A and B are shown apart, each in its own frame.
Chain A
Amino acid sequence: MTTTDQIEGYILDMAQGDRGAFEKLYAATSAKLFGVSLRVLGNRAEAEDAVQEAFIKIWRNADRFTANGFSPMTWLITVTRNHAIDRLRARKAPTQDIDEAYDLADAAPGPEAQAITAADRARIVDCMSGLEEQKADAVRRAYLEGDTYQDLAEAYGIPLNTIRTWLRRSLLKLRECLSQ
Chain B
Amino acid sequence: MSDDDDNIEMDDENVLAAEYTLGLLSAEESQAFEELLSIDPGFRQRYAFWAEGFAGLTDDIAPVEPPADLKDRILAELFPDKTLSRADPLATADSEPRPSFLQRLGLFPAVAGGLLAALVVLGVVDLMIDDAPTPATYVAEVAAEDQSLVVMASYAADSATLTVDRQAGAAAAGRSLELWLIPPGDGQAPISLGVLPQETAAAIQILADLVPSLDQGTLAISDEPEGGSPGDAPTGDILATGAITAA
Partner of A140, one of B57, B195, B209: B57
Give a binary string over A40-72; 1 marks a CB under 8 Å from any B CB, 0 the rest: 000010001001110110011000000011110
Summed over the interface, the residue pairs from A and B with CB atoms below 8 Å come to a total of 210
State whether the Cβ of B137 lies closer than 8 Å to any Cβ in chain A: no
Considering the complex, give the chain B residue whose CB is closest to the CB of A71: B52
Q: From A23, A109, A146, name the one whose CB has the most chain B CB atoms within 10 angstroms.
A: A109
B205 engages A35 (CB within 8 Å)? no
Considering the complex, give the chain B residue whose CB is closest to the CB of A32: B63
State whether the Cβ of B61 lies closer than 8 Å to any Cβ in chain A: yes
State whether the Cβ of A155 lies closer than 8 Å to any Cβ in chain B: no
Contacts A31-B63, A97-B203, A110-B44 given; indicate if A120 touches B52 (C-beta within 8 A). yes
B52 engages A116 (CB within 8 Å)? yes
Give a binary string over A99-119; 1 marks a CB under 8 Å from any B CB, 0 the rest: 111011100111011111110
Give a binary string over B186-207; 1 marks a CB under 8 Å from any A CB, 0 the rest: 0000000111110100111101
Contacts of A30 in B (CB 8 A): 65-66, 70-71
Q: How far is the CB of B214 from chain A (nearest CB, A)?
A: 16
Interface size class of A (residues with CB under 8 A): 35 or more
State whether the Cβ of B171 lies closer than 8 Å to any Cβ in chain A: no
Q: How far is the CB of A142 from chain B (nearest CB, A)?
A: 4
Contacts of A73 in B (CB 8 A): 55
Contacts of B44 in A (CB 8 A): 69, 105, 108-110, 112-113
Partner of B58, one of A36, A68, A75: A36
Partner of B67, one of A23, A48, A78, A112: A48
Contacts A56-B78, A85-B23 given; indicate if A77 touches B58 (C-beta within 8 A). yes
Considering the complex, give the chain A residue whose CB is closest to the CB of B30: A101
- Residues 7-33 of B contacting A (Cβ, < 8 Å): 11, 14-15, 18-20, 22-27, 30-31
Q: How far is the CB of A22 from chain B (nearest CB, A)?
A: 8
State whether the Cβ of B208 lies closer than 8 Å to any Cβ in chain A: yes
A38 engages B51 (CB within 8 Å)? no
Contacts A51-B70, A95-B199, A100-B161 given; indicate if A144 touches B64 (C-beta within 8 A). no
Query: With the chains together, A171 CA to B75 CA distance in Å?
Result: 39
Give a binary string over B41-75; 1 marks a CB under 8 Å from any A CB, 0 the rest: 10011011101111111111111111100110111
A122 engages B59 (CB within 8 Å)? yes
B55 engages A74 (CB within 8 Å)? yes
Query: With the chains together, A91 CA to B126 CA distance in Å?
Result: 34
State whether the Cβ of A9 lies closer than 8 Å to any Cβ in chain B: no
Besides the known contacts A38-B64, A113-B45, 20 further A-B residue pairs in the complex with CB atoms under 8 A apart: A23-B71, A31-B64, A48-B70, A53-B207, A55-B74, A56-B208, A81-B55, A86-B205, A94-B194, A97-B161, A98-B23, A98-B30, A100-B160, A112-B44, A116-B52, A120-B53, A121-B56, A168-B19, A171-B18, A172-B15
Chain A residues with a Cβ under 8 A of chain B: 17, 19, 22-23, 26, 30-32, 34-36, 38-39, 44, 48, 51-53, 55-56, 59-60, 68-71, 73-75, 77-78, 81-82, 85-86, 90, 93-101, 103-105, 108-110, 112-118, 120-125, 127-128, 139-140, 142-144, 146, 148-149, 167-168, 171-172, 174-175, 178
Q: Which 8 A-B pairs have the closest CB atoms?
A: A94-B194, A31-B63, A124-B56, A121-B56, A109-B44, A69-B48, A34-B66, A98-B23
